[in-house]
């Protein structure tokens, strides 16, 4: 059997929707045993989020749920009920890590706060992911991804470049904000796990999603206190010219030329036009002052060329240029496919997904792998409750009837 | 400041430049790892020279606040890796380190004699990560890439922005997502090393790191042959889900509603309880269909309020609402102030400089900002003396020979 990096690490994930689940997935796909707890009957929120296979909103056909819950075991459990709480405590007793994302105070209210759980399992690492952290005036405020994206300053700078400031700032497409939070959280958990290996001790980690997103934009975030400048989505810095996203025949291309020789190569690509020899075109600052003129020339050159041709011929001349890929482009990209970025996954309800997105890291010794598809609701109840915790099948029936699992 | 970080005792030596490499090891430094940065006068970290994201160029190599913010807690040594002697010294640094990170173009580091095989020869259990735009394998591996281009290839810009406007560009924050992903991979390898004593090689592709942010978007294409488009702030199912203009210049409030309770609270807070029974908005499905009319109503209400006033009103009614903040907005926000997200370091050249704090609160092993980003070669003498046992004469000779340069 191929070794996996996080073999033997036991994680209980008690989270809803995306951020916490993504954190759990990152570790599950590297070999950790992640038990995902979902509310009985309704299941996790993400099961009701698109995209759905053939647009059928079946809770077992959400592509989002499938994407962020691979390699996990799934159980249903309501720990707010005394019997459910007892089971939850036994799961935590067996675990190295608990990930939860409930509003501050809610775990304590159930008697499942860190201080209580530490008594059961002193080595426990507990991670709490909340919108604004465990302290501060907004700690109890509610926020979805949209709100976090805007509050963190990420939205304010998008889209780059915006036609004018009359139009609203926007969030990054898809679930990016939630993934930022989940990925950032995973770093602290992994570091705490490492420290436990040397010290034997567990600990509590609080993470604010907003702060995870601010850290991801740490350079743009400090321009005001350091220089009195608040950047906007007008893209002032991009006007260092020849940089940006430009429309072409069948889509868009992205160009950036941080080095002067790259700009020269770019000029070579477009045939060394006479205007490129003008004095105002000889350094980035001068070009910035003539950005509108330069951009108009570039647009004129590009308008009848396909994006892939610009991408390939540009790269052949060492110009940092790329086509702006759509989902279809990425899924059919020769490079992505040659690197094995897409893998085949078989799901009992969804069937075979032949191009499932995998991971960005290739480990020489401990490869990333999907050990099982995302669980159906309560799929591993019997395995976890009976085989791991030692409940009988009769107990299981009784718990089911009581709505606890 | 004392180091109580979870990675205390781990040493990282890095040959990285710009953002995606340096910030990965900066994250490890927040968590207590000791990070030694290898640069030279000839090849200083690129963020010492220019910041594309903020549109700034720096006159000298030690005054970049961008470099400072991305290289906190590190130490810098100068080695001119074009000289064989410098390569030998770099290997001696690798020999006493746990982790090596590099982010040069694929092929460059092995040509310098510092590739994984060379590193493994001096330190058999080394963890070695190569971060590059496209990865070490695949047909496009030598393509040149920066944040705007690898983001474009990864599919995120195509789904970010207004539907009637070109895709949004992305700048440095995209590099930091790649950096977080690298840090996660290193942490997983460190855990594996702790358990087994085994090191390994990691090939990280930044364009794949960003593509994992669009995994669910690709699945829509894989499952339904649909190519997801830009949709501003809108969401496939939720409405209202947008940013609305408030009083003042470029001030906005983001509002997102999922449940019926939230919807009714929103109507009541706006003083428009008649909307609750309006047939256009009876449930989420109808609200989504009539989203434009709904957005117009909310926009009319929000425009008369300050963004913070709107947030307080709505949050008190348990509706998710936050302003869209600029750098100034973040810096002056009371919640962030109380949580001390902005930290000041005393930099010997630029003076007091604001940076962003690590985004986690670990109860036992706090992540910390200890020192400013190092001056170029600031620690050459100390490290070569203390770790490699060099005498001042030897160091002097190496400087004379431009090995240390």
Quote the distance between the C-alpha of residue A233 and its chain's center: 23
* Closest approach of A124 to chain B, Cα-based (Å): 12
CB atoms within 10 A of CB A54: 10
- Is residue B101 within 8 angstroms of chain A, CB to CB? no
Task: List the single residue in B with minimal CA-CA distance to A248.
Answer: B166
Cross-chain Cβ contact A254/B321 below 8 Å: no
Q: What is the pLDDT of residue A28?
A: 98
**Cross-chain residue pair A322–B185, CB shorter than 8 Å:** no
The H or E element spanning position B77 is: strand B75-78
Task: Pick the residue of A96, A218, A265 with the most B CBs within 10 A to test the interface with B by mutation.
Answer: A218
pLDDT at position A279 is: 93
- H helices present in B282-368, as ranges: 284-289, 291-302, 307-316, 327-332, 334-338
What pLDDT does residue A234 have? 87
| Residue A322 clears pLDDT 70, i.e. is over it | yes
Cβ contact (<8 Å) for B216 and A63?
Answer: yes
Q: Do B222 and A353 touch (CB under 8 A)?
A: yes
* Option in B65, B153, B228 nearest A322 (CB): B153
CB contact under 8 A, B188 and A5: yes
Rounded to whole angstroms, the Cα distance separating B357 from B340 reads 8
Nearest to B54 among A237, A324, A363 (CB): A237
Mean pLDDT value of segment A338-363: 98
Q: How many angstroms separate the CA atoms of A23 and A184, rounded?
A: 8
Task: Using DSSP, state whether A151 is helix, strand or coil.
Answer: helix
Q: Which region holds residue A122: left if phi is over 0, alpha if psi is between -120 and 50, else beta?
A: alpha
Optimal mutation site among A45, A150, A181, A242, interface B, most CBs of chain B within 10 A: A150
User: Contacts for A132-135 with beta carbons within 8 Å, 24 or more apart?
Assistant: A132/A208, A132/A209, A132/A210, A132/B335, A133/A206, A133/A207, A133/A208, A133/A210, A133/A211, A133/B339, A133/B361, A134/A104, A134/A206, A134/B361, A135/A206, A135/B338, A135/B339
Whether this prediction's pTM lies above 0.90 is answered by yes
Q: Are B16 and B102 in contact (CB under 8 A)?
A: yes
B312 in A contact zone (CB under 8 Å): no
pLDDT at A30 over 80: yes
- Residues in A closer than 8 angstroms to B153, CB to CB, are 322-323, 325, 330, 333
Say how many CA atoms lie within 13 Å of A39 toward its Cβ.
11
Q: Which of B6, B157, B241 sits opposite A146 (nearest CB)?
A: B241
pLDDT of residue A239: 61
Nearest-neighbour CA in chain B from A337: distance (Å) = 8
Determine the distance in angstroms separating the CA of B88 from the nearest CA of chain A, rounded to an integer: 25
Say how far apart CA A332 and CA A319 lie, in whole Å: 23
> Which chain A residues have a beta carbon less than 8 Å from that of B188?
5-6, 30, 190, 363, 366
3-state secondary structure of A215: helix
B152, B191, B339 ranked by CB distance to A194: nearest: B191
State residue B366 phi and psi, 5-degree precision: -60, 140
Lowest mean pLDDT among A231-245, A251-265, B26-40, B170-184: A231-245
The answer to whether B366 contacts chain A (CB < 8 Å) is: no
The confidence band for A243, taking pLDDT boundaries of 50, 70 and 90, is confident
How far does the CA of residue B169 sit from the closest CA of chain A (Å)? Answer: 5
Could you give the CA distance from residue A12 to residue A380 in angstroms, rounded to a whole number? 13
Q: What span, in angstroms and rounded, lies between the C-alpha atoms of B84 and B99?
A: 22
CA gap A186, B180 in Å, rounded: 9
CB of B367 closer than 8 Å to CB of A188: yes
Asked if the model's pLDDT at residue A223 lies above 80, the reply is yes
Q: How many CB pairs under 8 A join A and B?
A: 519
CA angle A13/A15/A18 to nearest 5° reads 110
**Residue A240's pLDDT band (boundaries 50, 70, 90)?**
low
- As beta bridge partners, residue B255 has B242, B321
- Contact state of A188 with B31 under an 8 Å Cβ cutoff: yes
Rg (CA), chain A: 25
Contacts of B341 in chain A (CB under 8 A): 211, 214
User: Measuring CA to CA, how many Å separate B328 from each of A118, A156, A170, A234, B171?
Assistant: 40, 11, 18, 16, 19
Question: In this predicted structure, what is the pLDDT of residue B54?
Answer: 85
Strand order from edge to edge, sheet including B99-102: A361-363, B200-205, B127-132, B99-102, B11-15, B34-39, B75-78
Percentage above 90 pLDDT, chain A: 91
Cβ neighbours of A187 in B, within 8 Å: 27, 31, 180, 183-184, 187, 360
Give the residue from B215, B228, B369 with the most A CB atoms within 10 Å of its CB, the best one to mutate: B215
pLDDT at A241 (0 to 100) = 60
Residues from chain A that touch B245, judged by Cβ atoms under 8 A, are: 168
Residues of A in contact with B148 (CB under 8 A): 243-245, 254-256, 322
Q: What distance in Å separates residue B134's CA from the closest CA in chain A? A: 8
Is the pLDDT confidence value at A89 over 90? yes
Element (H, E) at B52: none
Band (pLDDT 50/70/90 cuts) for residue A238 is: low
A143/B320 CB distance under 8 A: yes
Q: Do B139 and A338 touch, CB atoms closer than 8 A?
A: yes
What is the residue-wise DSSP string for A21-36? HHHHHHHHTTT-EEEE
When CB atoms are compared, the residue of A160, A204, A341 closest to B168 is A160
Is a pLDDT exceeding 90 seen at residue A192?
yes
Q: Is the peptide bond before A159 cis (omega within 30 degrees of 0)?
A: yes
With beta carbons under 8 A apart, name residues in chain B contacting A7: 195
Residues of A in contact with B334 (CB under 8 A): 137
Q: Which letter, b or e, does each residue of A362-391 get, where b requires 16 or more Cβ atoms within 10 Å of its Cβ?
A: bbebbbbebebbbbbbbbbbeebbeebeeb
A106 vs chain B: nearest CA distance in angstroms? Answer: 16
Q: pLDDT digit of tens for each residue in chain B (405 aa)?
A: 688 999 999 999 999 999 999 999 999 999 999 999 999 999 999 999 988 788 888 999 999 999 999 999 999 999 999 999 999 999 999 999 999 999 999 999 999 999 999 999 999 999 999 999 999 999 999 999 999 999 999 999 999 999 999 999 998 899 999 999 999 999 999 999 999 999 999 999 999 999 999 999 999 999 999 999 999 999 999 999 999 999 999 999 999 999 999 999 999 999 999 999 999 999 999 999 999 999 999 999 999 999 999 999 999 999 999 999 999 999 999 999 999 999 999 999 999 999 999 999 999 999 999 999 999 999 999 999 999 999 999 999 999 999 999
The confidence score (pLDDT) of residue A183 equals: 98
Which of A110-114, A278-282, B269-273 has the lowest average pLDDT? A278-282
Chain A closest CA to B336's CA: distance in Å?
8
């Amino acid at each position: 059997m191929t070794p996996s990096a996080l073999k033997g690490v036991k994680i209980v994930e008690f989270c809803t929707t995306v951020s916490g689940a993504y954190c759990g997935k990152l570790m599950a796909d590297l070999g950790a045993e992640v038990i995902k707890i979902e509310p009985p009957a309704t299941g996790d929120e993400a099961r009701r989020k698109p995209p759905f296979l053939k647009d059928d909103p079946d809770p077992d056909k959400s592509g989002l749920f499938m994407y962020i819950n691979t390699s996990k075991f799934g159980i249903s459990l309501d720990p707010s009920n005394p019997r459910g709480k007892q089971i939850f405590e036994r799961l935590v007793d067996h675990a190295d890590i608990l990930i939860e994302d409930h509003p501050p105070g809610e775990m304590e209210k159930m008697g499942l706060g860190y201080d209580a759980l530490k008594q059961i399992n002193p080595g426990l690492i507990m991670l709490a992911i909340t919108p604004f952290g465990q302290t501060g005036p907004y700690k109890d405020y509610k926020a979805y991804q949209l709100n976090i994206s805007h509050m963190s300053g990420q939205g304010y700078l998008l889209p780059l470049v915006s036609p004018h400031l009359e139009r609203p700032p926007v969030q990054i497409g898809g679930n990016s904000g939630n993934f930022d939070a989940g990925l950032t959280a995973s770093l602290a958990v992994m570091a705490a796990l490492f420290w436990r290996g040397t010290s034997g001790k567990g600990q509590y980690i609080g993470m604010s999603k907003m702060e995870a997103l601010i850290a991801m934009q740490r350079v743009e975030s400090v321009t005001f206190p350091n220089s009195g400048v608040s950047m906007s989505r007008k893209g002032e810095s991009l006007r260092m010219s020849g940089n940006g996203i430009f429309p072409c025949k069948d889509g868009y291309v992205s160009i950036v030329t941080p080095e002067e020789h790259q700009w020269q190569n770019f000029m070579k690509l477009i045939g060394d036009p006479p205007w490129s020899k003008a004095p105002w075109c000889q350094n980035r600052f001068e070009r910035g002052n003539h950005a509108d003129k330069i951009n108009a020339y570039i647009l004129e050159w590009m308008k009848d060329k396909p994006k892939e041709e610009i991408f390939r011929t540009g790269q052949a001349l060492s110009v940092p240029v790329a086509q702006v890929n759509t989902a279809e482009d990425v899924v059919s990209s020769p490079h992505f496919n040659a690197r094995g970025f897409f893998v085949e996954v078989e799901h009992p309800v969804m069937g075979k997904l032949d191009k499932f997105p995998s991971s960005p890291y290739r480990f020489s010794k401990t490869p990333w792998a999907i050990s099982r598809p995302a669980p159906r609701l309560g799929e591993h109840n019997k395995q976890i409750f009976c085989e791991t915790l030692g409940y009988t099948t009769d107990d299981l029936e009784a718990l089911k009837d009581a709505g606890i699992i | 400041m004392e180091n109580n970080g979870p990675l205390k005792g781990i040493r990282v030596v890095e040959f990285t430049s710009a953002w995606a490499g340096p910030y990965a090891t900066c994250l490890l430094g927040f968590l207590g790892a000791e990070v030694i940065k290898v640069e030279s006068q000839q090849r200083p970290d690129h963020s010492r020279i220019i910041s594309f994201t903020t549109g700034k160029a720096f006159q000298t190599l030690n005054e970049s606040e961008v470099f400072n913010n991305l290289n906190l807690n590190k130490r810098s040594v100068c080695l001119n890796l074009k000289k064989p002697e410098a390569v030998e010294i770099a290997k001696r640094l690798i020999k006493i380190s746990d982790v090596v990170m590099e982010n040069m173009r694929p092929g460059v580091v092995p040509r310098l004699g510092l590739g994984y095989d060379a590193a493994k020869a001096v330190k058999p259990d080394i963890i070695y990560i190569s971060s590059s735009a496209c990865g070490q394998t695949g047909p496009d591996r030598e393509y040149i890439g920066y944040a705007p281009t690898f983001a474009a290839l990864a599919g995120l810009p195509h789904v970010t922005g207004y539907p009637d406007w070109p895709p949004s560009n992305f700048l440095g924050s995209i590099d930091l997502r790649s950096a977080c992903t690298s840090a996660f991979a290193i942490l997983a390898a460190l855990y594996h090393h702790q358990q087994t004593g085994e090191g390994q090689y990691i090939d990280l592709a930044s364009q794949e790191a960003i593509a994992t942010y669009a995994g669910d978007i690709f699945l829509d294409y894989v499952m339904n042959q649909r190519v997801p488009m830009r949709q501003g702030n809108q969401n496939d199912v939720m409405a209202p889900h947008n940013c609305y203009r408030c009083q003042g210049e470029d001030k906005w409030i983001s509002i997102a509603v999922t449940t019926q309770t939230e919807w009714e609270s929103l109507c009541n807070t706006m003083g428009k309880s008649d909307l609750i029974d309006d047939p256009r908005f009876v449930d989420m499905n109808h609200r989504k269909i009539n989203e434009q009319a709904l957005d117009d109503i909310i926009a009319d209400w929000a425009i008369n309020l300050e963004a913070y006033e709107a947030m307080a009103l709505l949050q008190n009614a348990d509706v998710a609402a936050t302003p869209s903040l600029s750098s100034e907005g973040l810096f002056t926000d009371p919640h962030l102030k109380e949580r001390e997200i902005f930290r000041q370091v005393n930099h010997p050249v630029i003076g007091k400089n604001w940076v962003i704090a690590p985004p986690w609160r670990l109860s036992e092993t706090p992540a910390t900002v200890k020192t400013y980003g190092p001056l170029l070669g600031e620690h050459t003498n100390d490290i070569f003396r203390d770790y490699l046992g060099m005498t001042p004469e030897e160091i002097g000779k190496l400087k004379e020979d431009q090995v240390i340069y």
